[in-house]
Amino acid sequence: MGHARAERDRRANHRVDLDGRAVLFQRGDHVGQYTLENISASGAMVSGERDLRPGHLVHLLIDLETGHETMSLTGSVRRVRDKKNGVGLAIAFPVLSADQEDAIHNAVLRALLRRDADTSHLPLLVFEPRRRVREEIESEIRSFGLPVFGVDSLADAVRELENEETEYAGLIIHSVTHDPRSMEVVEFFTRSENLRTIILPEPDGALCERAERLAELAQVRVPRIWSRSELRRSLTN
């Protein structure tokens, strides 16, 4: 329980700078449109022309410009700072439902991944022999807004990684960790190409010995368990 609470607190306090807007309302009246500077599950910073007093409750409609639905949140103005062309408002979210918190984390993740993808346009390579598992991984990655390509054999994985006309943002593996030959190749590319590699563990979080050694490399990420949230964290850290 203590670890789970600490993890929730850490996630809530992780604030990122994003492009977006927030339309504010107070007691049902339209206050104005503000620029969203940053947001987390604990609150947001917005800037605009109209000042508000600390302690006032406001309703926000937040659009992160990711093409997804607008978030509807209620917050409390905590502090106000003057800016050259207006004011900055720090707004706290004292009470969020689990769905609202997840919506914030997912929206932030999509915005970050879209921003990174717009910069690199590089897909992730999934090397997984089992079709159902491979398609599940690919589906999760696409839901985050990232391009992905999957292969089911070592020969195809080598072909893709050696192709000079194709570059990948990283490699994701799971069951191939139990195949010594595949792991030799994965380790070679991870080391020689400084390839970002994500190893998805067993349901109980376990890794085989070869995977544990590979996980010691700085460019390797291993989710604590195989879940959507842990995969999301590995892709963004």
Asked which of 48, 83, 115 is the last residue of a domain, the reply is: 115
Tokens of 49: 């022309």
Does residue 93 sit in the same domain as residue 129?
no
Asked which of 68, 83, 115 is the last residue of a domain, the reply is: 115
Domain count, the chain: 2
By percentage, how much of the chain surpasses pLDDT 90?
A: 41
Q: How far apart are CA 23 and CA 5, in angstroms?
A: 31
Asked which of 80, 115, 150 is the last residue of a domain, the reply is: 115
Does residue 43 sit in the same domain as residue 128?
no
Q: How far apart are CA 114 and CA 133, in angstroms?
A: 24
Q: How far is residue 98 from each of residues 13, 69, 109, 207, measured CA to CA in Å?
A: 16, 17, 16, 31
Does residue 131 sit in the same domain as residue 100?
no
| CATH number of the structural domain spanning residue 43 | 2.40.10.220
Residue with the larger pLDDT of the pair 98 and 236: 98
Where does the pLDDT of residue 1 fall: very low under 50, low under 70, confident under 90, or very high at 90 and above?
very low
Does residue 28 sit in the same domain as residue 43?
yes
Residues contacting residue 200 through CB under 8 Å, at least 6 positions apart: 137, 172, 173, 174, 223, 226, 231
Strand partners of residue 171:
125, 197
Q: Are strands 43-48 and 29-40 parallel, antiparallel or unpaired?
A: antiparallel
pTM of the full structure: 0.53
Does residue 107 sit in the same domain as residue 156?
no
Does residue 151 sit in the same domain as residue 212?
yes
Mean pLDDT (whole number) for 116-121: 56
| pLDDT, position 2 | 36
Does residue 136 sit in the same domain as residue 220?
yes
pLDDT digits (tens, 9 = 90+) for 143-180: 887 889 999 999 999 999 998 888 898 999 999 999 99
In the chain the beta strands, taken as DSSP E runs, fall at: 16-17, 21-26, 29-40, 43-48, 57-63, 71-83, 86-92, 124-127, 148-151, 170-173, 197-199, 220-221
| pLDDT, position 119 | 47
| pLDDT, position 4 | 38
Does residue 60 sit in the same domain as residue 92?
yes
| CATH number of the structural domain spanning residue 178 | 3.40.50.10090
Does residue 89 sit in the same domain as residue 142?
no
104: domain range?
Answer: 2-115
Does residue 10 sit in the same domain as residue 81?
yes
